[in-house]
């Protein structure tokens, strides 16, 4: 690819990470190298197994656990900052065709990283790298620099009926 674009998948509906992983699968099956950095995630979701099956997808979890129901700690911030360094390398080292920054918007929302740090990271990307940024609460500045923005809107969700996240579907 001569020019890579920036995609943003945001909104309160289900499917942002799933859409990003779908794009990763498509790219990998086309022979492209994909790097996925999952901010704020440390739990072993089923999707982290993808590396076992598709060798040109590399995934790193850049958090320790989901803290949405608690305040982030200094450790959460440290891991997110280290994650930014890893993702900066993935964007700029010439080894990757697609870089997915999963839940980066959440890391911004909870102030684990600053908007300026993210903009600096994105400015270092190789121009041919396709970038996908996921997570609720995408700030306007991220939306403004994106070439494609999709908002997932929740209309109805069985979670509200007490259905917990299911292995292989939501986790």
Q: Which pLDDT score, from 0 to 100, does residue 21 have? A: 96
0.85 surpassed by pTM: yes
- Is 86 strand, coil or helix? helix
Q: Which pLDDT score, from 0 to 100, does residue 129 have? A: 98
Question: Which carries the bigger pLDDT value, residue 66 or residue 14?
Answer: 14
Check: CB of residue 41 under 8 Å from CB of residue 79. Answer: no
Confidence of residue 167 (pLDDT cuts 50, 70, 90): confident
Residue 7 has pLDDT above 80, yes or no: yes
CATH of domain 23-133: 3.40.50.300
């Amino acid at each position: 690819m001569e020019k890579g674009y920036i995609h943003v998948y945001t909104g309160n509906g289900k499917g942002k990470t799933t859409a990003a992983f779908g794009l990763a699968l498509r790219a990998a099956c086309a022979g492209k190298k994909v790097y996925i950095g999952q901010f704020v995630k440390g739990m072993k979701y089923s999707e982290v197994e993808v590396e076992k099956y598709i060798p040109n997808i590399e995934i790193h979890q850049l958090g320790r656990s989901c803290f949405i129901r608690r305040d982030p700690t200094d450790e959460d911030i440290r891991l997110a900052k280290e994650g930014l360094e890893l993702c900066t390398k993935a964007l700029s080292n010439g080894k990757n065709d697609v870089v997915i920054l999963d839940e980066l918007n959440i890391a911004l929302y909870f102030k684990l990283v600053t908007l300026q740090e993210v903009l600096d990271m994105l400015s270092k990307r190789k121009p041919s790298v396709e970038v996908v940024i996921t997570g609720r609460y995408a700030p306007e500045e991220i939306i403004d620099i994106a070439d494609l923005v999709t908002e997932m809107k929740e209309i109805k969700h069985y979670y509200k009926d007490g259905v917990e996240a299911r292995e292989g579907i939501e986790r």
